[in-house]
Amino acid sequence: MTYKIRIGLVGYGKTGKAVANVLSKDPRFELCWIARRTAGASVRTHPETAIPIIGMEQQSFEAIFDRYPVDAVVDFSSAEAVRLYGEIIRKHRIMLVSAISSYSESDLAYVRSLGRNTRVMCSPNITLGINFLMVAANLLRKVAPFADVEIIEQHFKEKPEVSGTALKIAENLGMESNRVTSLRIGGIIGEHEVIFGFPHQTVRLSHSSIRREAFGTGAAFALSQLQACPIGFYTFEDLLVQATNQEWSRQLNFGNDSPKRRRQPDLSRVNR
C-alpha cells in the first residue's frame, strides 16, 4: 500500500471548505483534521467524512499536532495563524503549503525562515491554471519579444481594485501596470487573458475560474511536488517550472515508453 501524506488544514471559510472537498477525496492524501478560529455552531466533522473540525478557541495547535500527527499543513486561514503553529512545523519538519495572500513583510520573512528547516511553499495565487498561464506567457514573451502584448481581466461588478493576478502577470512580462484593462461585468468569478499580437497571427492565453475547488487542486499539486523537494522555500511557480522541466527532459530523452515513442530513434545525443 502506498503511503498517504497526512494533512492538517487550517481555515474552513469560503475557500477552506472547497479545499477540504478536494483533499478529502484525493487518494494520495489523508486529511486528518481541519482547524478554524471558532468551533462552529453544530457541524463538527467535514460533511460525509469523519474528519474533525477543531475550533482554536478551545484547543492549542500543540494539542492538535500531538493528538493527530501530520506530515503537512495546508493554510487557508489568516496571516496570523502561522505564528501559532510555525515553531511546531519547524521542529518536526512538517511541510507547509500556505495560500495566505495578505502576509506583511515581517510575516513573509518568518514564513521564509521556516524554509531553513522544512519544506515550504507560499504563493498568493495557488491555481495550476493561472500559474501555467504565467509560465507560458513568460516563455512566449522571451521567444517573441517583438509581439504586442495586452492583458485583459474581467471580474464581478463589485470588485473595486485591479486584479492582483493581472498586475503580477504584467510585472512578470515587464509591462507597466496601466497596460492592464479591467472589465467589471455581472457575476464573473475571474477571467484573465494575455493577448500576443504578431503581424500575421494572434495568440490568446486565457484562464477562467469556475469553482473555488481549483485552489484545492493547486494545493494538491503543491503537496505532491513539495514532498520530492529538498528543504527550502518555494513559490508555486518554482514547483510548476520544476515539474515542466522534468517533463521536457523526459520527452527529450524519449523516456515515454508509448509504442509510438519507442519506434523513434534516439536523437538526444545528436541534439546536444
Ligand X SMILES: NC(=O)c1ccc[n+]([C@@H]2O[C@H](COP(=O)([O-])OP(=O)(O)OC[C@H]3O[C@@H](n4cnc5c(N)ncnc54)[C@H](OP(=O)(O)O)[C@@H]3O)[C@@H](O)[C@H]2O)c1
Kindly list the residues in this chain that would bind ligand X in the complex (CB under 6 A).
10-16, 35-38, 56, 76-78, 80-81, 84, 99-102, 123-126, 215
Backbone CA torsion sign across 129, 100, 23, 248:
positive
Q: In this complex, which beta carbon is closest to ligand X, that of residue 196 or of residue 215?
A: 215
Compute the least distance from the CB of residue 74 to ligand X, in Å. Answer: 10
Interatomic CA distance for residues 154 and 163, integer angstroms? 9
Report whether 29 contacts 251 (CB < 8 A). no
Compute the least distance from the CB of residue 83 to ligand X, in Å. Answer: 9
The residues carrying an active-site annotation are 155, 159
Q: Which residue is nearest to ligand X (CB)?
A: 13
Q: 241 forms bridges with which residues in the sheet? A: none
Distance of CA 210 to the CA centre of its chain: 16
Q: In this complex, which beta carbon is closest to ligand X, that of residue 99 or of residue 149?
A: 99
Interatomic CA distance for residues 111 and 79, integer angstroms? 10
3 state DSSP class of 134: helix
Closest C-alpha among 226, 246, 214, 263 to residue 18: 214
Compute the least distance from the CB of residue 95 to ligand X, in Å. Answer: 16
Q: In this complex, which beta carbon is closest to ligand X, that of residue 29 or of residue 61?
A: 61
- Label the pairing between strands 95-98 and 72-75: parallel
Compute the least distance from the CB of residue 173 to ligand X, in Å. Answer: 20
Compute the least distance from the CB of residue 117 to ligand X, in Å. Answer: 21
Order the strands of the 202-208 sheet from edge to edge.
180-184, 148-155, 191-197, 202-208
Q: In this complex, which beta carbon is closest to ligand X, that of residue 196 or of residue 218?
A: 218
3 state DSSP class of 266: coil
3 state DSSP class of 131: helix
Backbone CA torsion sign across 254, 133, 128, 61:
positive
Q: In this complex, which beta carbon is closest to ligand X, that of residue 124 or of residue 232?
A: 124
